[in-house]
Homo-oligomer: A and B are copies of this chain.
């Protein structure tokens, strides 16, 4: 057994995740050092105002407001970026890599927007960069895709990767709350931010989906170009209709092989109750992956929170320690796999849930069904709820259809004088 030297790390940021990282070390130090085969030391922590950190679980002397004390310290081998946001985090990461330091980050925005340059920079300087915590918090999705499923061609990833929206949708479903009530509760419990826009509009999920697309397919997609629909327009009534039909409504982030291109989108969808994603409730996240050897696999856990996120950061740090101890030279860039055309993004073929509000008059269903048929949209089921009222909901679930064809059908249907409104269009997740 070779004698291993202490691992020395520097932290950028000491918010919730930074504190979680230090807390895990304090809690599990013996365990971590036994796994490492040596000691590990946090040498410095960058914060804006060191005076504010006199009473934390780490000595006050570790805090500095000068990034150079970490980035230029030759003793520090791993820089752990836990600031969040694009800048200055991205610059710090670049500098650390250029200084020949390995980097671990939990930063989805930096990896989604600047991952490619950073991976190339890491390769150039023969160091490694890891980002397990950037998607799914404590869920080991990056390790699973890059290692455990490494012999698989990935066919599909469908994720519930935003805890805020999943909490809101769960409460609306289970307690009959309105979107606003559920959001207020989520904010109260700390599952939603004061400004929840990025979560409820699906932007947060799109960032994470862009990282998953890179890791699984080697394809770089600007998260801002991912077709993205949030959950603001989902009413408790829609959730109720979905439940009656045997579905839960979830905000799904999907990337799916579609011949030589990829379908990528964030969209609220009806998930059949027997699908494992349907049982993912409250603030939990889950990633449902299909590989061409492993078949269906799902990873479920806490997608946020100081300790779960720190658990993922620690897994990267421990791997990185092995890289250092064994002087392993890793390749950080991921090549495009299976000849996908980068940039080709589509919504592909999907089954859809369509709710129309119609005037309850004889013949209305026939005309609508004819329009679907004329546009090659075939129907799996039709449900009419309510009766005799002036305006009744008419719900269709289609078989897999291309968006263009569905849109053409709906444009015809909107013209019918019995159709008051196309009240809702949602995707439907397939049963397996």
Contacts and interface: CB of A to CB of B under 8 A. Distances in A.
Contacts of A337: 31, 34
A197 B291 CA distance: 32
A294 B308 contact: yes
A293 B34 contact: no
A344 interface: no
A370 interface: no
Contact size class for A? 35 or more
Interface in A26-42: 27-28, 31-32, 34-35, 37
B292 A301 contact: no
Interface of chain A: mostly helix, strand, loop or mixed: mixed
Contacts of A34: 335, 337
Given A298-B300, A301-B297, A328-B328, A147 B143 contact: yes
Q: Which of A27, A150, A326 counts the most B-chain CB atoms under 10 A from its CB? A: A150
Given A2-B329, A307-B294, A310-B293, A151 B300 contact: no
B292 A308 contact: no
A303 to B, nearest CB: 11
Given A293-B308, A301-B294, A132 B151 contact: no
Contacts of A314: 150-151, 293
14 contacts: A1-B331, A2-B329, A24-B152, A27-B292, A31-B153, A32-B151, A140-B144, A147-B315, A151-B311, A151-B314, A284-B296, A291-B311, A297-B300, A328-B328
Interface of A: 1-2, 20, 24, 27-28, 31-32, 34-35, 37, 132, 138-140, 143-144, 147-153, 274, 276, 278-281, 284, 291-302, 305, 307-308, 310-312, 314-315, 317-319, 322, 326-329, 331, 335, 337-338
